[in-house]
Structure 1
Amino acid sequence: MPDPAASTRFGIGTFRTTVDSPEFAGLVVGERVLDLSARFPGAAVRDLLDEWDSVLPVLVELADSTGAWQPLAALDVRAPVAPRQVLQAGANYRTHVIDLAVQHSDIGAERTVEQVRAEAAAMMDRRAAEGTPYFFLGLPTVIGGPYDDVVLPDYSRQHDWELELAAVIGRRAFRIDRDEALDHVAGYTIVNDLTTRDLVFRRDMPEIGTDWFRAKNAPGFLPTGPFLVPSRFVGDPGDLRVTLTLNGDTMQDESTKDMIFDVAALVAAASHTVPLLPGDLVLTGSPAGNGIHHGRLLRDGDVMEGTITGGDSLSLGTQRVRAVAP
């Protein structure tokens, strides 16, 4: 593969010129978009990922080409890919899990915050050394656009944000080892894995545990994008910065170094149960700073802005989503 430093950095995404026009796959360089329909007729981004090994060199060439480039600002940006499967990793950031442990513990004279934090940290050390990632599934219908409004269902007032890094699969992976897992990742994108907090645990049957189906699968509860940035430009996915602001105030600001299981471990573990297919999303978990931690959950009119950045001015783009009442 060519040296990524010697090629123009780009992303790919899904666009339309108007709300009623058909969607098309586009190559993004800076503030310009090249419609890929001429080179790949009728192909959606998932079709490109189905043939990623042969498509990527073509995209590298097109990134430096002249052609019918369009201004990004003139286009409607959709979620970059329509996945067949969405695998969501839970409890995968140390600070986030420690905060949750404190929040759900009885703190008093006999059990201090410091003790709870130390117990949670020791538990995660054991889990990282001996355990496996914790996954649940999202439905493809949960995908939303990176600039869409998200409707807050009126059956709850406890909707929360969880900005995350998502790995996008570019080569079928089934029962692969960790050391080969990143070879199956085409690139990365941003997701906001929204959660309805009071539906996470079943009150009518506590013994059954968590109910992620109800807590996470409302329509549009996974704003995705704006772009898929190829792995070659991202470098180490374990050294990125995940930041979410709410109405301009920073709520999440954490490094992916805080992950308990890194991207390779997550992809490998998921592949040992199900075949991962091109276009599938493997979510890597939420860093600390959710609304439940801040005591401030989503309200009508709130605007969430999410970015994931890295060294050498790397950016996966900016996601901007407004929460609205039904």
Structure 2
Amino acid sequence: MPVKPEPSSALFAGPFALGTLSAPDGPAFPALVTPDGQVLDLRAAFGDERLTVRDLLERWDTALERLRALAGDGDAVRRPLAEFRVHAPVEPRQVFQSGANYRQHVIDLHVAHRAPGDERPEAERRAEAAELMDRRAAEDLPYVFIGLPSAVTGPYDDVTLPAWAEKPDWELELAAVIGRPAYRVPVEEALSYVAGYTIANDLTDRATVFRRDMPQIGTDWLRSKNAPGFTPLGPWIVPAGSLADPGDLRLVLKLNGETMQDESTKDMIFSLARMVSYASQSARLLPGDLVLTGSPAGNGMHWGRLLRDGDVMDASITGLGSQRTRCVAQDAS
């Protein structure tokens, strides 16, 4: 059975959030969840038995007004969250992932991924990475690549570590959820296309990030990041208006109770607005799509401790709640 987090006094910031839940042996449904852990089935509220969270995001401007009214309706019939299973809050059509977007994280990776034969002192390699980050920021060039929706799993589901993954690692990230089609939007308007925020853990097999057989073609994101379940997502989509500043949120990831990542989104090289705008210059972002914003320092490569069978990851971001996932080796599942 999935491992669930301990209950807290408030599940998230704001008056409500969206989730995708299911009763035992029942179909998944879109839910309005209140911070005290009460659930309203939105199928009945919107009069649509086929309704999904993505449907709501497709008409976010009008749906948001209705959701606010439902959250404040004291007569609405609600049930305890404990009665339900929590799934990933949305099924995205596209996942845009940001690489190398936290300054200290990139410097640590640059040191850890030392090229064969590079015997320079660590201080020299760190200085080289810092110079690279400064140049990227000055040239205004974020790095965005594509992930697969099939890698998304629930916030409390077990994560299977494939037998071929030699160095599976964690990467806690703030994820923006798109609320209306966005194409070639300016930075100044980018956040108006964001419906809300959620938590993502963008797992990566470090051993397969780079193609050893053909180094000239660079990174292999398909192999290293997109195994089934490698993107635990959720538990909630918290509306954008419930967070005062996405540029100042604390991300914490604990492995078996020990803190590994503890950083603020202030350390991002490129802001969330910049990432959304940049992705939209090349692709058309759709309602329900995810824009992952990169991970801060403190991954397994930094600590010299990668994921293994039985590990439990607890991840939280200010105002967005928390997720807990247990690692299960493929040959042990």
Q: Same fold (TM over 0.5)?
A: yes
Q: 1:318 aligns with which of 309, 317, 322?
A: 322
Q: 2:263 aligns with which of 254, 265, 270?
A: 254
Hey, what's the Cα distance between the residues in 2 that align with 1:81 and 1:141? 12
What residue number does 2:28 align with?
Answer: 23
What residue number does 1:72 align with?
Answer: 81
Contact kept? 1:165, 1:189, Cα under 8 Å: yes
Q: Could you report, residue by residue, the CA deviation over 1:112-154 in whole angstroms, capped at 9, with x for unpaired residues?
A: 3333222222221111111311111111111100000011000
Hey, what's the Cα distance between the residues in 1 that align with 2:105 and 2:40? 39
SS of residue matched to 1:242: strand
Hey, what's the Cα distance between the residues in 2 that align with 1:27 and 1:265? 30
Following superposition, the deviation at residue 245 of structure 1 comes to 0.2
Greater displacement, 107-116 / 183-192? 107-116
Q: 1:145 aligns with which of 131, 154, 161?
A: 154
Q: Could you report, residue by residue, the CA deviation over 1:228-282 in whole angstroms, capped at 9, with x for unpaired residues?
A: 0000001211100011000000001010000010100000000000000000000
Hey, what's the Cα distance between the residues in 1 that align with 2:118 and 2:181? 53
Hey, what's the Cα distance between the residues in 2 that align with 1:189 and 1:240? 12
Greater displacement, 197-206 / 110-119? 110-119
Runs of 5+ in structure 2 lacking a partner?
1-12
Matched, 1:217 2:223: no
Label 1:275 to 1:70 Cα distance change in 2 as closer, same or farther (>3 A).
Answer: same
Hey, what's the Cα distance between the residues in 1 that align with 2:230 and 2:113? 25
Following superposition, the deviation at residue 165 of structure 1 comes to 0.3
Following superposition, the deviation at residue 184 of structure 1 comes to 0.1
Following superposition, the deviation at residue 106 of structure 1 comes to 7.2
Matches within 5 A, 1:246-325: 246-309=255-318, 315-325=319-329
Label 1:8 to 1:268 Cα distance change in 2 as closer, same or farther (>3 A).
Answer: closer
What is the identity, as a one-letter code, of the residue corresponding to 1:306? A
Hey, what's the Cα distance between the residues in 2 that align with 1:227 and 1:84? 18
Following superposition, the deviation at residue 9 of structure 1 comes to 1.9
Using the size of structure 1 for normalisation, the TM-score is 0.93
Q: How many residues align?
A: 314
Runs of 4+ in 1 over 4 A off after TM superposition: 106-110
Contact kept? 1:107, 1:113, Cα under 8 Å: no
Hey, what's the Cα distance between the residues in 1 that align with 2:17 and 2:86? 13
Q: 1:43 aligns with which of 47, 51, 62?
A: 51
Following superposition, the deviation at residue 77 of structure 1 comes to 0.3
Q: 1:203 aligns with which of 198, 205, 212?
A: 212
SS of residue matched to 2:273: helix
Runs of 5+ in structure 1 lacking a partner?
1-6, 310-314
Q: 1:131 aligns with which of 123, 140, 143?
A: 140
Alignment RMSD, CA only? Answer: 1.7
Using the size of structure 2 for normalisation, the TM-score is 0.91
Matched, 1:32 2:41: no
Hey, what's the Cα distance between the residues in 2 that align with 1:22 and 1:235? 34
Contact kept? 1:80, 1:227, Cα under 8 Å: yes
Contact kept? 1:92, 1:259, Cα under 8 Å: yes
Matched, 1:56 2:58: no
Matched, 1:241 2:250: yes
